[in-house]
Structure 1
């Protein structure tokens, strides 16, 4: 018995030794593992603990400005208060709601149903979901939770929130404001500033309160934004164009175009006019901010990586003082004509004019006035000088005469007897009165339609017109006539630096009578800008020059209102020289001079008194039939009144074209001549004033 006890005592220390040894081995392995972690992988694990990442975001900077030829600001930028939100990575809806609730204490946003920040049904459902998450989840079955991913679950839960539960009136005013704020915050992408409220929507007091409490509003910043300003009001704004808002961002139709050029979706871009035409120049270089974030997405540091720079500035060819006067004249004469003959001018509502330097193509003024009869007010319609085309009547006869010379169907000094033309099966055609024998000079001076009819008939192949007999006519004459016209810019693009230029309408029925109408400007249609280029080409001895608004591009000067150094000048560009002998051009120039300066000229009685005779004007009048339709039915006749010209005749420095569509017949107020005198007065008076200075 004693021996058994001794053997048990002997076995006990042995077992303890094995146990201690096993524990020792385990601790050794643990120490070894710790050593491996500390020595071999320590730096890697520490790097993971300390891991940060660098991200970049871009802050918009104001666009370039626009100035007139004299350095007067046309389009600038106004700074305005802005409250922005820049979310960190991984920010959840609950986080944004918390910030929105805090921000609502310091600013007000109108959440009205029909207002800018109107709350949609989905906005209200999303808000209700965050406030009642548990209840929303209870509306899903276990099977749906198992089979749906998170996105599908969320969409289903929103669908099952009843409309009556989120009726607009169910929420307090404060809750509505919170929802309106959160709605704007939800548009923000990680580390990208999103404007919550700006401009007149935020008061200086609200801006100051937010600035004082930024430490409790993560992601919120009180900064400044910019908006376009127009020192001259609407005077030139239709040409300057518009830009999208930060809410519209880049145009959806051009998204691929802009995205491949480094734009963001919420960038403001030019959507019309010169803003669109010169987007690549006016576009600013954004300020690039580098954010350092830790592994949780929290911003730990930020720094300016690239300083922003305002876009380049445009110096335009426009003289804003002249532009104002042109608009004033158009508005005044349109008003007078309508008031003096309210019945006859019932359909008259528009007057358009372009003034340009015929030797350089620089557009000095381009104006349009439209009278809104319902609102009983005038509106600027300058773009119609480029976008709207009309039959200009006899104003095109200079091009017709030159086509006749060059094609060989008439000779300088050739005479025709001006009496009504009658082609078998067609109505009689005539001049405004029977002018009897006229040569080429007289045909232009006295505006003979019949002379132009003979040119057209001969270009069509018939040199032996017989009254009331059919013509020997080749329809290819339409192509030949239009080819000559196109050399002046009629019926083709002028090449102007402006989007969506109209080239007018070409008639499609190749009948002989229509060719005769084409020759007197009563078949095809042309824009006022095309007419200005046409008369400039004649004034410039047959050289067609590209009309343009841009004079130069200037680099911006930081923190200064001054114009910077020239980046690029826009020089005169010759498009073509008309394929006609100079001696022929000289004859048309002389005919144009006689229109204004000799008795019998169709403009003489309007321009024979001083100071107009001193201007030494040359040009052409025009009247074209303009049928007016109401519900598809012709209700009465009207006329398009035109006037083109240049001055001085010997050394042209200004050319002009104007069109007044749908004027009443038999006008007692010769609106086209009155506008012509008014805009020439404005030009030469301003010139004299500048010379005196």
Structure 2
């Protein structure tokens, strides 16, 4: 080839392309090197943190719920560890009914389990994980673990379950916990950020009673665990953790042995009793009958059990002591007498002649005693419970005077007790009627409506808690204390108790001699009056007042015959009392629904309560059975000691462990170990 010949154009194009390609490759390597330097040097820390974050997750550690104990340290609500089999609907790869059927081939699933699962699914459509089986045995855990790969969306978790070892005992006061529903989730969104953060991972909260009202104390502080995860998000290894702090121990004012005694004395009857320590307001017994088993709600109540409770004519879910309202009947009379003395409408020695009725206008208000009580002064009007005396007194006082004085005892207004759901009741007055009714003719107060108020009938309607608070105020010489169920809260850190101090709500501006007279007359009720049979031979002096409240209004000249009326339409039996009379340690109010006369159905129960509190005596078995049937007044048989009757044999294998019992602590430690073994998915 001639050296002077011009270059071949094709060769030049080739060389140009090679150089361009080399330059492009060189630029690419320079860019990659620069990017590598940027990532490895300048963004090393940031990217390293992101990489770690992509392979780790933060899992909340739900704290152990605080314990609930009675005033003597007897455990009322505790926790136990167990495995649960749960389904996460969002991760299931087959229809849920078919998935449950397949799971049931490995681990037994009962019809109740299926109903509960469906109910929880319907109630919380966005709930992440729903239990299909609880309290799995070790064998069931091992069997399912071996076949877990077949069931995407189904997992085993370790849970701490709430337990109420005495079953139905004290259920309305203690309450129960349940799964957080959609409504509660929405409400939680309004909580402060720190409180919302503390409830991450929490699936159960208090729903009733102390469990609900002291939720924040019982919940504890949520911890956190950093875990290494697979690409699927499953945690495989714990990296670091900040432990949770268990909830505080809540100590109640209740004496659970007394609570058990009262509930047993009621038997199958409906009603309520509240017993209070007058000087402090501490609630010693808080009874609503019938009761219910709070354990049914812990892992989700099934629809059949819910229907039975919700549709029962006995209304076991109704807290009769807190929310039920009743006419007070003749238990109103001591307060009426006190108003008469304070307003100078009556003097103690001033008497009336009772013919057995009182005419007002064209209406005849009958006394409960045919033919009347004869000559009646104020003392006898209380001891013998003379209706005619109080018909006349009510007419003289007027509705607003009655209302103004009764309000001082707390009638018709919430007591402020430390659990939610308290009813206000009705303390009638002219103002109340104007504000209650809309039609003008209904708003007018008629003088005849005042008459029946004097014997605790008419529009009068109060809770048993209000009645108990009122009689405690009377026993405490007019000083009204706020009733409370929680005695102290023991902090989990340091175990230092925070005592709930007694809180004075007001003082009645009444003369001491007038109070003393009324209390003396109430002593007469239990010595020589309507409750004398129940308190015969008692080793202490007490004051009381029986009451019988109409459920159905009788027509003019119509007589009451209990045997001819449906049981649920019969009169309520009421009783208020305090003891010992000279220095009251306990005051109580109670109702036996449709029980008839307070002297026969209610006062005998109060006698056994005072015997227990003041003498340490527990009724004999035959006496207990007779009281349940309203067939006993004075105790029969040889009384037992209170300790001999505890623990009850019909609610469990024995008393549960105390909060510091090693077996309980071992159980809680086991739960923490189990939780670490089955860390929930991110």
**Given the two structures, how large is their TM-score scaled by the length of structure 2?**
0.72
Query: Secondary structure of 2:274's partner?
Result: strand
Deviation at 1:545, TM superposition (A): 1.0
5 Å matches for 1:176-215? Answer: 194=129, 196-200=131-135, 202-210=136-144
Partner Cα separation in structure 1 for residue 187 and residue 275 of structure 2: 33
Q: What are the Cα deviations for residues 398-457 of structure 1, in whole angstroms up to 9, with x where unaligned?
A: 111121222232334333333432122222444635233333222222222233233322
Deviation at 1:517, TM superposition (A): 1.1
Query: Secondary structure of 1:427's partner?
Result: strand
Query: Secondary structure of 2:335's partner?
Result: helix
Partner Cα separation in structure 2 for residue 264 and residue 421 of structure 1: 67
Deviation at 1:216, TM superposition (A): 9.9
- Larger C-alpha radius of gyration, 1 or 2? 1
Cα-Cα RMSD:
4.5
Alignment match, 1:365: 285
Alignment match, 1:484: 405
The answer (yes or no) to whether the contact 1:277–1:499 under 8 Å persists in 2 is: yes
Alignment match, 2:184: 251
Structure 1 241/23 Cα, relative in aligned 2: closer, same or farther at 3 Å?
closer
Partner Cα separation in structure 2 for residue 113 and residue 444 of structure 1: 55
The answer to whether residue 299 in structure 2 is matched with residue 351 in structure 1 is: no
Alignment match, 1:623: 548
The answer to whether residue 359 in structure 2 is matched with residue 422 in structure 1 is: yes
The answer (yes or no) to whether the contact 2:541–2:579 under 8 Å persists in 1 is: yes
Q: 2:472 aligns with which of 517, 536, 539?
A: 536
Q: 2:332 aligns with which of 396, 400, 421?
A: 396
Q: 1:241 aligns with which of 159, 175, 179?
A: 175
Deviation at 1:582, TM superposition (A): 1.4
Q: 1:440 aligns with which of 355, 378, 395?
A: 378
Alignment match, 2:531: 603
Structure 1 503/21 Cα, relative in aligned 2: closer, same or farther at 3 Å?
closer
Structure 1 109/259 Cα, relative in aligned 2: closer, same or farther at 3 Å?
farther
Q: What are the Cα deviations for residues 66-123 of structure 1, in whole angstroms up to 9, with x where unaligned?
A: 1111111011112111346899xxx9766999xx89x959943649799237789xxx
The answer (yes or no) to whether the contact 2:265–2:605 under 8 Å persists in 1 is: yes
Query: Secondary structure of 2:588's partner?
Result: strand
Structure 1 626/578 Cα, relative in aligned 2: closer, same or farther at 3 Å?
same
Query: Secondary structure of 1:81's partner?
Result: strand
Partner Cα separation in structure 2 for residue 37 and residue 11 of structure 1: 39
The answer (yes or no) to whether the contact 2:107–2:144 under 8 Å persists in 1 is: no
Alignment match, 2:607: 677
Deviation at 1:377, TM superposition (A): 12
5 Å matches for 1:92-171? Answer: 107-108=106-107, 110=109, 115-116=114-115
Structure 1 628/288 Cα, relative in aligned 2: closer, same or farther at 3 Å?
farther
Query: Secondary structure of 2:613's partner?
Result: helix
Q: What are the Cα deviations for residues 135-182 of structure 1, in whole angstroms up to 9, with x where unaligned?
A: xxxxxxxxxxxxxxxxxxxxxxxxxxxxxxxxxxxxxxxxxxxxx9x9
Bigger drift between 644-653 and 616-625 goes to 616-625
Query: Secondary structure of 1:386's partner?
Result: coil
Alignment match, 1:574: 504
Partner Cα separation in structure 1 for residue 314 and residue 7 of structure 2: 120
Q: What are the Cα deviations for residues 456-503 of structure 1, in whole angstroms up to 9, with x where unaligned?
A: 22223xxxxxxxxxxxxxxxxx23211211211222112212211122
Structure 1 76/119 Cα, relative in aligned 2: closer, same or farther at 3 Å?
closer
Gaps spanning 5+ residues in structure 2: where? 293-307, 434-443, 555-559, 619-640, 645-682
The answer (yes or no) to whether the contact 2:92–2:153 under 8 Å persists in 1 is: no
The answer (yes or no) to whether the contact 1:391–1:525 under 8 Å persists in 2 is: yes
The answer (yes or no) to whether the contact 2:77–2:163 under 8 Å persists in 1 is: yes
Alignment match, 2:445: 510
Query: Secondary structure of 1:537's partner?
Result: helix
Alignment match, 1:500: 421
Alignment match, 1:128: none
Structure 1 602/305 Cα, relative in aligned 2: closer, same or farther at 3 Å?
same
Number of corresponding residues: 570
Partner Cα separation in structure 2 for residue 446 and residue 92 of structure 1: 73
Bigger drift between 392-401 and 222-231 goes to 222-231
Alignment match, 1:226: 160
The answer (yes or no) to whether the contact 2:61–2:201 under 8 Å persists in 1 is: no
Partner Cα separation in structure 1 for residue 168 and residue 495 of structure 2: 28
Alignment match, 1:132: none
